[in-house]
């Protein structure tokens, strides 16, 4: 049996999934997401603007066709590693209500959780370990980060993501625009919205205890948040939402919320 280890594939490369937004069967564009398990339910994590088709601050329609996505295709891993199964999730229930869960602040936090209902029997889920947000590394300005997604819909070896590199551009301890987010400097492209952002280093970082790690046998990885796009169209400065916004969303979901409404 072929495994990630035998193929020499990084475990996080199995976490980012290729998404395609659809309207009445027509493709609108690519995006990125990853799956997290919460209360025995799989949820797709991506951006509010991805599923709504609107700018989170202006509500302006993002598609030049003025179409609003009604479905999302998710290219899941199959049980045979290195092959994929495409499943389609509806974005609205039969009453026309959004199926995704938003942050308590609404679309002002551009992250959502979509409970998955259409998982094929051949799908193999590789959930993203949110525990990586607690890795004992202190991020600082100018440290390199990786954005793991699908720039312009580009993938490798089928549907494995691309690791784009950038740098932390604002002090991680400060919020950007009074929101739970910080900034990175990276040459990103459409299709990367919803990508996980990680800090990965072999050394050269400080721990919470004040210990300085100079070198080690393997890299340390810390989950820094969810990428959601650039601050302005001509800017190379992008927004990353902090990991806790995901748990903020989950903490307001009840068991009744997860029951089918149609």
Q: What is the pLDDT of residues 77-91, one digit of tens each?
A: 999 999 999 999 999
Equal fold, 4-127+247-258 vs 130-243: yes
pLDDT tens for 209-253 read 878 777 676 789 999 999 999 998 788 999 999 999 999 999 998
Right CATH for 130-243 from 3.90.650.10, 3.40.640.10, 3.40.190.10, 2.40.10.10: 2.40.10.10
What's the pTM value of the predicted model, to 2 decimals? 0.93
pLDDT tens for 128-143 read 999 999 999 999 999 9
pLDDT tens for 41-75 read 999 999 999 999 999 999 999 998 899 999 999 99
pLDDT at 1 over 50: no
What is the CATH number that goes with domain 4-127+247-258? 2.40.10
Half-sphere exposure of 211 (CA within 13 A, CB side): 7
pLDDT at 161 over 90: yes
d(CA 95, CA 164): 39
């Amino acid at each position: 049996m072929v495994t990630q280890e035998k193929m020499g594939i990084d475990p996080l490369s199995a976490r980012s999934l290729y998404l395609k937004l659809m309207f009445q069967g027509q493709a609108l564009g690519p995006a990125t997401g990853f799956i997290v398990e919460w209360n025995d339910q799989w949820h797709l994590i991506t951006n509010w603007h991805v599923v709504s088709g609107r700018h989170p601050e202006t509500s302006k329609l993002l598609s030049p066709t003025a179409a609003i996505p009604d479905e999302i295709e998710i290219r899941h891993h199959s049980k045979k590693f290195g092959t994929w199964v495409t499943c389609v999730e509806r974005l609205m229930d039969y009453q026309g209500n959004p199926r995704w869960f938003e942050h308590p602040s609404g679309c002002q936090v551009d992250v959502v959780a979509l409970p998955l209902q259409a998982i094929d029997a051949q799908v193999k889920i590789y959930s993203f370990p949110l525990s990586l947000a607690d890795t004992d590394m202190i991020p600082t300005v100018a440290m390199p980060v990786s954005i793991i997604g699908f720039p312009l819909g580009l993938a490798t070896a089928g549907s494995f993501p691309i690791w784009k590199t950038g740098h932390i551009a604002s002090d991680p301890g400060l919020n950007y625009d009074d929101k739970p987010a910080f900034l990175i400097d990276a040459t990103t492209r459409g299709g990367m919205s919803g990508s996980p952002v990680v800090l990965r280093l072999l050394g050269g970082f400080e721990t919470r205890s004040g210990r300085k790690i100079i070198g080690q046998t393997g890299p340390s990885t810390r989950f820094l948040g969810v990428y959601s796009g650039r601050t302005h169209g001509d800017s190379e400065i992008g927004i990353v939402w902090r990991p806790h916004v995901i748990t903020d969303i989950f903490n307001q979901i009840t068991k009744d919320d997860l029951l089918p409404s149609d």
